[in-house]
Chain A
Amino acid sequence: MMSNTIFMHPATYFILGAILMPFANRLKLQKVLLLAVPLLAFYQIHHLPASFGVCHFLGFELHFGRVDKLTYVFLHVFTLMALIGSIYGLHVKESGQHMAAFLYVAGSLGTTLCGDYLTLFIFWELMAFASVFLVWYRRRKRSIEAGYRYLLVHTTGGLILLAGIFLRYQNIHDLTFTRILAEGATTADYLIMIGFMLNAAVPPIHAWLPDAYPEATVTGAVYMCAFTTKTAVYVLARGFPGFTALAILGAIMTVYGVAYAVIENDARRILAYHIVSQVGYMVCGVGIGTAMAVNGACAHAYAHILYKALLFMGVGAVLEATGKTKLNELGGLYKYMPWSLVFTVIGGIAISGFPLTSGFISKSMIIAAAGADHRIFIMLMLSLAAVGTFLSVGIKLPYFVWFGPNEGVKEAKEVGWNMQLGMFIAAFMCIFLGFYPEYLYRMLPYPVTWHPYTMHHLSETFQLLGFTGLGFYLMVKKLKPEPKMNLDLDWFYRKGARVFMWVASKPVGAANDWVGEVYRTVGYRFTMAVARAMSWFDWEGIDWVLDGSAKGVVKGGDQLRTFQTGKLQHYIGGAAVALFIVLIIVVLL
């Protein structure tokens, strides 16, 4: 790749920024760098050619830059969000957190821009590995554990995606990342779709999100809520528009996320569950697949990134000031943090779709598209989720944090200017888009014929919001926060892991000594046999998958024996099992 092409790619700025961060910190220029990089990237995305950065690598064509309207709207909001996140996190001294955030943004931008599946996979994994540090930097035991689970789930998702990519290559010998038609979709395509769906937090593979996000750092959560799921929405919109499964799952997501948002106690967990609900609208829009629905999904992604980040910033400000996020421990904060309240409520009314806010002009587009496509049941589910949104995030959350029956906080100070500025910019955008929807509509992939401000739509919204408010008013005692948590599907791997550990420590532990004895005598021969088998696969047609690794196993046979005594064997064993699963899928299907 030519050097001028490298600098054309906005992710380059973030990667360079991440590398230079520790030096900038030493030179006391970290804040300059934090602002300069997103600004430069935001400028750069307006000057991208339709295609750039094509290079050849091991016989594959890697395509780093493919720009059209669908790409542009996501690039626009991602770089804008990176700027807001940088401003909000300006006070954080630790370079590592900023490096993780920048690499995470780079992964997201790279995924959005790439034109082939291999490049996609590289940036996809960069996103997962960079973002986990935003959880780990919180440094609490729970964060460390949640980070590991997050990484494990995303590694699994990545392997499923990779299996799909391999299979697809075997089927059609082409890795270009383009639209897949629902009629001719094969197993490979569905594996890719499942990999994407995992990042979009589609139930039943959603539990990583409410597990990890509430444990992230104050500033890390602001980044995380914006990038992973919305990048997934982008790749779904690019590859899988019109898949009915997505429309149905998306509609289920909207209600599922809201259900947990109604019953949860931790403010950031409520918001995290509510991401599931909001991304449901987008997944549903992609699944409906009409021009209006895909437009709606993109518009909603744009609007959602801004107001969900705003809500995470508001609740993050409370966490920063008081050290608390649980609703039952908060209350009465309006006296101490009124501006954070104002900004958070702007986020809350925007997400609920009040007229003159961004939610009104984006969410309604998807609901109307569902109606126009005669999917009445889906339309009603989306409307019900809109009721639940206002109930849980629009009223319940601000009420119990800033007002509420118990005044849990006796003393708190408003957060620093940079955090307030970050919130202000996001709040401004929420209202700006409500007043001037054409700004967003012009960026959408298809021409927009939809007008949000009709009498009928306004009347519908007035009633929906008003009578949801009445419901809350009557039932507020039932919604009293309780210091509890609610089970979700992560139970299966969190409790399941315990069963696995027991089996590993008791029966397996006993068997291990015996097997170890056998292994020393038979194992080496077996390793060699496996190596021969693998090199046979290697020479028999999928040489690019395993290139070199077969020979590596032969050579490494001796080295492996030294690992076998240490703990390393567990890790290598795990990796080998994962590789075998991929292999089996590739070879058998």
Chain B
Amino acid sequence: MMAQLFGYLRERSVVLKWVFFAYLAAAVVFDFFVERHHTHFWGDHIIGFWTIFAFFGCLGMIVVFKGLSHVWLMKGEDYYDE
């Protein structure tokens, strides 16, 4: 039953994609209407700060960590057995 549900959803990934984009838009719009009391951080007063933070933080981490892995840390799985 569950497996069929996941299969059903997977076949409609295009719809899911647009639902996801609509959610992203809604999240940003929501931030315009939020009251900002008791904040201790300048970023909390900027509308959409966490949008920018999350997006570039995510891309930055993938690029930096994957990059470090490829140029330095990555070794074969039997590295310690050799």
Q: Which residues of A contact B (CB under 8 A)?
A: 258-260, 262-263, 334-336, 338-339, 341-342, 371-372, 374, 376, 379-380, 383-384, 387-388, 391, 403, 455-456, 459-460, 462-475, 478-479, 482-488, 494-495
Contact = CB atoms under 8 A, between A and B. Distances in A.
Contact of A471 (B27, B59, B73): B59
23 contacts: A259-B61, A260-B65, A262-B61, A262-B65, A334-B7, A342-B2, A371-B40, A374-B40, A383-B53, A384-B53, A387-B53, A387-B54, A387-B57, A388-B61, A391-B61, A463-B27, A463-B31, A463-B51, A466-B24, A468-B55, A471-B58, A473-B20, A475-B62
A136 to B, nearest CB: 18
B3 A338 contact: yes
Contacts of B39: 371, 456
Interface in B39-82: 39-41, 44, 48, 50-51, 53-55, 57-59, 61-63, 65-66, 68-69, 72-77, 79-80
Nearest to A495: B80
Contact of B55 (A263, A455, A470): A470
Contacts of B34: 455-456, 459
Given A341-B6, A472-B58, A475-B59, A487 B65 contact: no
A482 B74 contact: yes
Nearest to B26: A462
B27 A462 contact: yes
B7 A387 contact: no
Given A387-B54, A467-B55, A475-B59, A459 B27 contact: yes
B48 A468 contact: no
Contacts of B76: 484-485
A326 to B, nearest CB: 9
A237 B3 CA distance: 44
B9 to A, nearest CB: 10
Please give me the 7 A-B residue pairs with the lowest Cβ-Cβ distance, nearest first: A471-B58, A338-B2, A467-B54, A463-B50, A462-B27, A486-B73, A263-B69
B77 A379 contact: no
B58 to A, nearest CB: 3
B30 to A, nearest CB: 5
A459 B34 CA distance: 7
Nearest to A474: B59
A93 to B, nearest CB: 30
Nearest to A472: B58
Contacts of A341: 2, 6
Contacts of B31: 459, 462-463
Q: How extensive is the interface on chain B, given as a class?
A: 35 or more
B28 A471 contact: no
A466 B66 contact: no
Nearest to A266: B77
B40 A464 contact: no
A548 B54 CA distance: 62
A487 B53 CA distance: 29
Contacts of B77: 483-485
Given A462-B27, A485-B75, A334 B66 contact: no
Chain B CB within 10 A, most for which of A465, A470, A473: A470
A467 B3 contact: no
A379 B41 contact: yes
Nearest to B20: A469
Nearest to B74: A484
A384 B59 CA distance: 11
Chain B CB within 10 A, most for which of A383, A387, A391, A494: A387
A458 B3 CA distance: 31
A468 B35 CA distance: 24
A329 B39 CA distance: 46
Nearest to A497: B80
B36 interface: yes
Contact of A334 (B6, B24, B73, B75): B6
Chain B CB within 10 A, most for which of A374, A463, A470: A463
Nearest to A264: B69
Given A371-B40, A372-B40, A466 B23 contact: yes
Contact of B75 (A336, A479, A487): A487
B75 to A, nearest CB: 6
Contacts of B50: 383, 459-460, 463-464, 467
A387 B58 contact: yes
Given A459-B31, A460-B50, A467-B55, A338 B62 contact: no
Contacts of B37: 456
B55 to A, nearest CB: 4
Nearest to B1: A338
B40 A471 contact: no
Nearest to A464: B54
A484 B72 CA distance: 12
Contact of A494 (B10, B69, B80): B80
